[in-house]
Amino acid sequence: MEADKPTRTEALMEVVRMRIANRSLSPGDRLPSIRDFARDMKASPSTVAEAYARLEAEGVLRARRGAGFYVTGVDLPPMALAEMGEPREQSVDPFWVSRLSLDARASDLMPGCGWLPASWMPNGAIRKGLRAMSRGEAALLTDYGSTRGALELRRLLIGRFAEEGLPATASQLMLTGSGTQAIDLICRLLLRPGDTVLLDDPCYFNFQALLRAHQVRMVSVPFTPDGPDVELFGQIVAAEKPRLYITNSALHNPTGASLSPQTAYRVLSAAAAHGMTIVEDDIFADFEPALSPRLAVLDGLSRVIRIGSFSKILSASIRCGYIAARQDWIDGLTDLQIATSFSGPSPVAVSIITGILTGGSYRRHMDDIRQRLTTAREETASRLASLGLVPWVIPRGGFYLWCRLPEGLTSSDVARRCMQERVILAPGNVFSVTQSAGPFLRFNVAHMADNRIYAALEKAMKA
């Protein structure tokens, strides 16, 4: 987190912004002349001129020919105000974790968030990729990508799928703007308002947010350490006739559990018996020490659609997801992506990702990350245990730990109290369609090193 020091120009710009924010300069006011301000601030006139010019480009100031610079009437709220302080943030719904973690201040502690700290990511490889791009072809830097995304990355993914025993062709694979967008496109292709969709309980909170946007009916099946409860799964599929089942087979979010071979077989059989399609979100695959069973592999991309992204392992800032499915579905999904986003992921982003994945250091980087996560998981489990928080299962990989609070405590209360200390937790019911996960919290072991988290938790649990 070594922030660049602001330049002298930026510092002067900030001074002007502050004066406007604290109303010592009001709309219509004339600014000090360049010469006066330079003398007051002990800066060179050219630096002040540059600062004024950039503030003009931003619309904060307006130059009047021969008459200096004036504050425009633009109502610019101070930084912190614009980003924070909305009552929206306190309701514990499927948006609780997203809103709070995405708009967190740099100083917030985020044991509930769904990604690795920036320092754990392959920053060196990303910087190298950006430098390589800065020497790339003009067309790559400025043109739209192809409708299915660059063939090079699709080939690379097909190679990885083949290693797992999942044969696929390039026309069965498309790149998307993100993993979430991949699922969204599939929902647009296959669902109509009023359809029924099956989810795990608990499941990734954003599946619920997404399905609400599609105006479909959600039903859920209890999740066990081996995957969904297979007895109930068969009954629910037969009774509710869901069009789609959305799940993580490996390192399930939020529990970290993975599917057993027997559960995989029975889930797929039930889906086949009732014509149900399955979306298998494989976003945590690279965190597994060894591959666990996958529905997509068992099924061979007939009724199972695989989606994934690189947000958890490479970068969430350089965005790209993918869909592997039956070719006729990919054809439809490609048109839908044109219609709704015009094109898929940024070709620059795709090229950087391809570079990192093909680079020699990626495998080493992931080995290292898995090792660090194992250590962090053990430490976190032991420290949480001393507070009376018990993991529901010890995951074989990934960064989640799904823990039960001591009898009588409710995770949304604990989360609200911790929020007052700027510690952002992920309370159980944001993951639960049936609101039956009240005693649980999801922790991200990569964000659990700071003692203040345990202190805030202890205090909130005692309150």
Query: Binders of its own copies among 49-108, rule CB under 8 A?
Result: 53-54, 57-60, 62, 72-79, 81-85, 88, 95, 98-99, 101-103, 106
- The answer to whether the beta carbons of residues 276 and 303 sit under 8 Å apart is yes
Query: Binders of its own copies among 133-152, rule CB under 8 A?
Result: 133-147, 151
* Closest C-alpha to 184, from 169, 203, 206: 206
- The answer to whether the beta carbons of residues 202 and 247 sit under 8 Å apart is no
Is the Cβ of residue 33 or residue 169 nearer to its own copies in the bound state? 169
Task: Establish if 170 lies at the interface with its own copies (CB under 8 A).
Answer: yes
Q: How far is the CB of 15 from its own copies (least distance, A)?
A: 16
Task: Establish if 177 lies at the interface with its own copies (CB under 8 A).
Answer: yes
Q: How far is the CB of 254 from its own copies (least distance, A)?
A: 16
Query: Binders of its own copies among 401-440, rule CB under 8 A?
Result: none
Query: Binders of its own copies among 332-361, rule CB under 8 A?
Result: 332-333, 335-336, 338-343, 346-349, 357-358, 360
Query: Binders of its own copies among 229-248, rule CB under 8 A?
Result: none
Is the Cβ of residue 82 or residue 385 nearer to its own copies in the bound state? 82
Query: Binders of its own copies among 272-331, rule CB under 8 A?
Result: 311, 314-319, 328-329, 331
Q: How far is the CB of 441 from its own copies (least distance, A)?
A: 21
Tokens of 137: 């072809």
Q: Which stretch binds its own copies (CB under 8 A): 126-134, 234-242, 399-407, 445-453?
A: 126-134
Q: How far is the CB of 241 from its own copies (least distance, A)?
A: 17
Is the Cβ of residue 54 or residue 404 nearer to its own copies in the bound state? 54
Q: How far is the CB of 199 from its own copies (least distance, A)?
A: 14
Is the Cβ of residue 270 or residue 318 nearer to its own copies in the bound state? 318
Q: How far is the CB of 274 from its own copies (least distance, A)?
A: 19
Q: How far is the CB of 106 from its own copies (least distance, A)?
A: 7
Is the Cβ of residue 49 or residue 387 nearer to its own copies in the bound state? 49
Q: What are the backbone dihedrals phi and psi of residue 78, each rounded to the nearest 5 degrees, phi first?
A: -60, 150
Is the Cβ of residue 92 or residue 333 nearer to its own copies in the bound state? 333
Q: How far is the CB of 301 from its own copies (least distance, A)?
A: 13
Is the Cβ of residue 61 or residue 457 nearer to its own copies in the bound state? 61
* Closest C-alpha to 16, from 64, 4, 34: 34
Q: How far is the CB of 381 from its own copies (least distance, A)?
A: 26
Is the Cβ of residue 102 or residue 238 nearer to its own copies in the bound state? 102
Q: What are the backbone dihedrals phi and psi of residue 347, each rounded to the nearest 5 degrees, phi first?
A: -60, -35
Q: How far is the CB of 380 from its own copies (least distance, A)?
A: 21
Buried b (16+ CB within 10 A) or exposed e, 282-298: bbbbbbbeeebbbbbbb
Binding-site member from 169, 235, 302, 420 for its own copies (CB under 8 A): 169
Is the Cβ of residue 82 or residue 394 nearer to its own copies in the bound state? 82
| Degrees to nearest 5, angle at CA 333 with 327 and 335 | 110
Task: Establish if 217 lies at the interface with its own copies (CB under 8 A).
Answer: no
Is the Cβ of residue 43 or residue 158 nearer to its own copies in the bound state? 158
With contacts defined by CB under 8 A, how many residues of the chain interact with its own copies? 116
- The answer to whether the beta carbons of residues 277 and 241 sit under 8 Å apart is no
Task: Establish if 213 lies at the interface with its own copies (CB under 8 A).
Answer: yes
Is the Cβ of residue 20 or residue 268 nearer to its own copies in the bound state? 20
Q: How far is the CB of 311 from its own copies (least distance, A)?
A: 7
Contact code string over 24-53 relative to its own copies, x by CB under 8 A: -----------------------------x
Alpha carbon distances (Å) from 33 to 26, 52, 63, 157, 423: 16, 10, 11, 59, 46
Partners of 221 in beta bridges: 200
Alpha carbon distances (Å) from 317 to 16, 177, 185, 350: 30, 11, 21, 12
Burial bucket for residue 123 (CB in 10 Å: 0-12, 13-18, 19+): exposed
Q: How far is the CB of 225 from its own copies (least distance, A)?
A: 27
